Structure 1
Amino acid sequence: MLPNVFRLLSLAALVSPLAAAEWETLFNGKDLKGWTTVLQDKKPGEDPDKFVQVREGAIHMYADTDPAAKVPFGVIVHEKTFSRFHMSVEYRWMKKKFAPRKNEIRDAGLLYHASNTGKVWPDSVEYQIQEGDSGDIVFLPKAGLTWMRPDIENSPEGQGEPGMLPEEGGFARDYGRTDFAYVGRFPVLDKMEGWNRVEVIVQADESAEHIINGKTIARITNLREKDGSPVREGKVALQLEGAEIAYKNVKIRELAEPLKPDRTVIALSGVRGQKVRKAEVIVRNSSAQEIPAALSVIGKDAGLFKASASAKKVPAGGSITVTVEFSPPEVLNRYSAGLQIGTKTEGTFICLQALALPGFEGKNEPTLMGVVRALNIPVQVGGTVLELDTKADVIGQSKAIAAFRAVDGEKVRMTPVARFSPKGITPFGIVQSGETELLEKGRLADVSGEIPDAHQTLFPPLDGATDFIEFDAPEKPFAFYMRGHQYVSYTDPSIKTDATIRHTSRVYPVTFFQGKPVKNAWLVGFEEAANGDYQDAVFLVENAVPADAK
């Protein structure tokens, strides 16, 4: 292995150095060739009042419009379609504002992956351009996964729900099947005077990165249409929304497929003073040229993570292994950073999450919400405290599912993703509806010299060499169980048990895991005592659906 590479690189180093010829100019500085103006109450291409003009090498919105006028909103749409690209635009606010936003802050935007472009607000993802809010995310009505601020009370002022970069502590949230969503209230990085530089790096449906004046402000992954299908390409457009604004240096560079990691999230945990396991990620290069793979750990808790690689470059058609380590501090908490491998345009970004425990068990344990956020699973478990409601049939986004069945033709898979319980081997499996026999499918391992925190960790080891277990499910519906130290816990609360609480398990739907979309997947958390923390043993269950599902 090479020595650890732990460097903070400037944006100039992270974005590939480009010769001018590599950029395609979308605006020639003279006219609107290649662009179509779309205004309210007008057909595409109609602009009799010249709300959009070219002045002094810039696209000037509302240049000659009377400040007392009420103006239409609109977009200018470029004729080409783009999928993987790095786009750069400079903008500057001018003096005038108009009704119906005469008394509002100045607003515009850069739209990408746009479709249905014959209307004023095309279906698209918007890079918001707005006074104090540039870089915000607007889904119109596209969908995607981004990250939210956990401490809402400390959010900056602004519009929308408060977002936060994952490397700064943001937690995952999926915006799907919605007509409109606004994620903002990021730190203010735009200037009110002079020119601002907007950049967006888009990799088909895989990711988008919003950059303002050289600094990354927001990230999105898994871009989709409202119906859930991937959105891999679309038009780009610039908005005019009632404020005088100028755009210049509008250019784009189409990109090749970047480096591909086998996962985009690494979740670690560690008990202070105990041996901590490492994580490895395989990074592949599908191109015909080798790609540099310099490592940069960035973000709020970058100093707690270390990364090393098996090579400095990823060979053409080959791969390298990147190893990540975490040094837990003394404070019980979730810690966040990011790992940039290679450049922003050729490389890849991995979200780093970790849980630190000051000691074993009791109040040293994380909450179920902390576990879920560290695993980067976008689900609300019903509270951020350690002890959750044990009486209600449903809490947060949990589902009351008495019985499951396997997806046709598929084996049910159970992957242990967390365990915070007393030491000892812990059996788990299924029980068929109407029966009492426990069909054991696997066991969580006891502690060992190699893994002293096997009972207090993310991704606890199984009693065996595998990371998960798979089995052919019976035709009869079934529930899941875990045999704890005090009683047997079941996902079906109607099954008789020695527990003093009604619900010894909680079940949550999972749509994303390790940065990838999953189907027919569930997070199953078990309680083995009475406090309702539901993280004594937590499994990702795949290829299972409710028994009564059609």
Structure 2
Amino acid sequence: MKTIYSLCFILIVLASCTSQQTESLFNGKDLTGWHVDVPDMDNNPEAINPFIVRDGNLVSLGNPQGHLITDKSYENYKLDVEYRFAGEPGNCGVLVHASTPRVLYGMFPKSIEVQMQHGDAGDFWCIGENIKVDNMVERRGPKESWGVIEGKKRRIKNLTDNSEKPLGEWNHMTIEVKADSVRVWVNGDLVNEGYEATAQKGQIAVQAEGSEVEFRKLELTQL
């Protein structure tokens, strides 16, 4: 009997540890744990906050453009994101390893973007940080054009087509960040895999980039 009690206690402790490793970055009610960086809001008193909570979902209205950024920094984690373009197809992204604000075009923080643009989900965009993939020339273009600043080839194309759900349906994106690697799945398909990233930790950001996007899940599990 003592052995049974001991086993039960161990199982309870293990379950507790597992649950403590996972946290929802969005509480379904407000933007606690996040801050907004939208250049238009600096000096324009009429500019609205493009990040709102509606019907329990986090909504990026798309305009004015900018970012919603976690207050905390993270490393070695898995991020599960459920999102959809409920109206028109458009553009958005999740940024990992975000740090210095507004290093690109006066708006984008230093980071690696995981693209969510409809039809291109899973592309990498290098924003002041860099990352490598296999078949780099095929997926990024001529090596002499690569870079992480304006005018350079910063886009690294994903590995698949047709991994996204039809417009209006919910997509499930998983981003796994481990040491200097970043792997991305969309609806179960491995769509990108990078390594030798120039950053291994940082904040997480969601974009407002011209299109309305709904998020019903932003859940982080420490690895």
Query: Over residues 152-186 of structure 1, what are the superposed CA-to-partner deviations in whole Å (9 max), with x where a residue is unaligned?
Result: 6xxxxxxx748xxxxxxxxxx89975325101153
Query: Which position in structure 2 is the counterpart of 1:251?
Result: 219
SS of 1:143 mapped into structure 2? coil
The separation in 2 between residues aligned to 1:95 and 1:28, in whole angstroms, is 24
Query: Which position in structure 2 is the counterpart of 1:27?
Result: 26
The separation in 1 between residues aligned to 2:54 and 2:127, in whole angstroms, is 30
The separation in 2 between residues aligned to 1:111 and 1:174, in whole angstroms, is 25
* Counterpart among 94, 105, 121 of residue 110 in structure 1: 94
* Counterpart among 75, 79, 83 of residue 87 in structure 1: 79
Report the AA paired with residue 53 of structure 1. Answer: I
Report the AA paired with residue 67 of structure 2. Answer: V
| Residue 20 of structure 1: how far off its partner (Å) | 4.6
SS of 1:146 mapped into structure 2? coil
Query: Which position in structure 2 is the counterpart of 1:178?
Result: 148
Larger Rg: 1
Query: Which position in structure 2 is the counterpart of 1:58?
Result: 57
Change beyond 3 A, Cα 1:57–1:40: same
| Residue 21 of structure 1: how far off its partner (Å) | 4.3
Contact 1:94/1:244 (<8 A) preserved: yes
Report the AA paired with residue 118 of structure 2. Answer: E
Query: Which position in structure 1 is the counterpart of 2:10?
Result: none
Change beyond 3 A, Cα 1:21–1:56: farther
Contact 2:41/2:47 (<8 A) preserved: no
Query: Over residues 298-326 of structure 1, what are the superposed CA-to-partner deviations in whole Å (9 max), with x where a residue is unaligned?
Result: xxxxxxxxxxxxxxxxxxxxxxxxxxxxx
Query: Which position in structure 2 is the counterpart of 1:38?
Result: 37
Report the AA paired with residue 253 of structure 1. Answer: T
Contact 1:84/1:204 (<8 A) preserved: yes
Change beyond 3 A, Cα 1:115–1:174: farther
The separation in 1 between residues aligned to 2:46 and 2:30, in whole angstroms, is 14
Change beyond 3 A, Cα 1:19–1:125: same
**Alignment length (residue pairs):** 197
Query: Which position in structure 2 is the counterpart of 1:134?
Result: 121
Change beyond 3 A, Cα 1:202–1:121: same
Query: Structure 1 length as normaliser, TM-score?
Result: 0.33
Contact 1:201/1:208 (<8 A) preserved: yes
Report the AA paired with residue 123 of structure 2. Answer: D
1:208 aligns with 2:185: no
Query: Over residues 491-544 of structure 1, what are the superposed CA-to-partner deviations in whole Å (9 max), with x where a residue is unaligned?
Result: xxxxxxxxxxxxxxxxxxxxxxxxxxxxxxxxxxxxxxxxxxxxxxxxxxxxxx
Change beyond 3 A, Cα 1:23–1:174: farther
Supply the RMSD in Å over aligned alpha carbons.
2.8
| Residue 82 of structure 1: how far off its partner (Å) | 0.8
Query: Structure 2 length as normaliser, TM-score?
Result: 0.78
1:78 aligns with 2:65: no
Percentage of identical aligned residues: 26
SS of 1:250 mapped into structure 2? strand
Change beyond 3 A, Cα 1:147–1:61: same
Change beyond 3 A, Cα 1:194–1:177: closer
The separation in 2 between residues aligned to 1:249 and 1:112, in whole angstroms, is 16
Contact 1:145/1:175 (<8 A) preserved: no
SS of 1:41 mapped into structure 2? helix
Query: Over residues 82-133 of structure 1, what are the superposed CA-to-partner deviations in whole Å (9 max), with x where a residue is unaligned?
Result: 111111111111225xxxxxxxx50000000011135631111010001111
Report which of the two has the higher share of strand: 1
The separation in 2 between residues aligned to 1:195 and 1:34, in whole angstroms, is 24
Contact 1:133/1:188 (<8 A) preserved: no
